[in-house]
A = this chain, B = another copy of it.
Amino acid sequence: MNDLSERKIIQGIARQATRRPADLVKGIGDDCAVVRKGHGLVELWTMDTLVEGVHFDLSWHPPRLLGRKAANVNISDIGAMGGRPRFALLSLGLPRACAAQLIDPFLAGFQEALGEYEVALVGGDTVSAGERLLLSVTVCGEMREDQVCYRSAAAAGDQVWVSGCLGNAACGLELCRRGVAGQGEYAALLHAHLDPHPQVGLGALLAESGLIHAMMDISDGLATDLAHICAESGVGAEVMAGAVPLADELLQAANLLGLAPLPLALQGGEDYQLVFTAPVENNESLQTLCLQAGMKIFCVGRIVAGNRVMLRQDTGWRDITFGGYEHRF
């Protein structure tokens, strides 16, 4: 079963999903499905499942923050296409020995995160689930059809941008795993893992600006998520190792942990920063726009002809295509 990767399963599902109603703008293969709603608007749909012991560990994840994260990782998918999240459904699978004192703060955190983006919880279900807590969330968003930013819109010559430091979440997870979570100097890293912040505002700003081409959120690491953009767009990409934004805390913590920071940034998942591409001629407008909104963005490379994601280091080029976190079964 070790060749049964998430990507292959999804490709198999997508091949079978041949039904194409006229109002379905985009089915499987992007951060969200896109369905035409009328009046120039579309709906965006996304669904993510988090499984205890696979995606989170209750021994260090406070239930309230877990609730926030379950909401925010889905909200991030809406933001990654430039949309505004509106409605959520929650399916809660409770293990046999689930503590009542876990559910209340979890739900409070979930609602708190929804509230920050004015998302209404409208349904779902609650089931028994054996050994592990299961969190399945569906979020529906909305936006103008002509502003949707797809993975497939990258063009050779575009520059590749990210919305913030990478690797923080992966390093925060490692700190938690090794039990060095209590150190205040790494608060930003722990926060990135425990309570990630979806880039909804920036996503909408970029989508409305018309200055960018492709966009998605970084949930599986830049190496993999940029490879998704390349695969969908029929292009390749070059990433400059020295341009990948790394937080000072990451450098310090990686040193403490004996880990190289760059692999954390390229292969570590769950940063929920945005990666997007834009024509070179929009550079100045893009930077001005983000600066005025108080947001910093970082150019990390460019889109080229081909189909690989290549990393440029001092020592030469390295192929990192789909080299991020890959779910295997």
- Give A contacts to B, CB under 8 Å: 1, 4, 6, 9-10, 12-13, 16-17, 19-21, 24, 27-28, 32-33, 35, 37-39, 45-55, 86-87, 89-100, 103-104, 107-108, 111, 114-115, 118-132, 134, 136, 138, 140, 327-329
**Number of identical protomers:** 2
Provide the residues of chain B in CB contact with A50, threshold 8 Å: 127
- A97 to chain B: which residues have CB within 8 Å? 1
Q: Which residues of B contact A93 (CB under 8 A)?
A: 49, 51, 134
Expressed in whole angstroms, the Cα–Cα distance for A124 and B139 within the complex equals: 11
Say yes or no: A45 contacts B327, CB within 8 Å. Answer: no
Are B1 and A45 closer than 8 Å at their CB atoms?
A: no
What residues on B are CB-neighbors of A27 within 8 Å?
Answer: 120-123
Q: Please give me the residue from chain B that is nearest to A95 by CB atom.
A: B329
Which residue in B21, B47, B127 is a CB contact (below 8 Å) of A86? Answer: B21
Chain B residues whose CB sits within 8 angstroms of the CB of A39 once the complex forms: 38
Of the candidates B94, B124, B131, the one whose C-beta lies within 8 Å of that of A130 is B131
Q: Give Cα A193 to B125, complex, Å.
A: 20
User: CB distance A121 to B38 under 8 Å?
Assistant: no
Question: Contact: A51 with B123, CB < 8 Å?
Answer: no
Residue of B nearest to A108 (CB): B16
The answer to whether B90 and A13 have CB atoms under 8 Å apart is yes
Would you give the shortest CB distance from A306 to chain B, in whole angstroms?
Answer: 27
Taking a contact as CB atoms closer than 8 A, the residue among B1, B33, B126 that contacts A6 in the complex is B126
Contact present for A107 and B16 (CB under 8 Å): yes
Using CB atoms, name the residue of chain B closest to A26: B122
Contact B33 A122 (CB under 8 A): yes
Residue in B53, B90, B129 whose CB lies within 8 Å of A51: B129
Q: For A37, A89, A122, which residue has the most chain B Cβ atoms within 10 angstroms?
A: A122
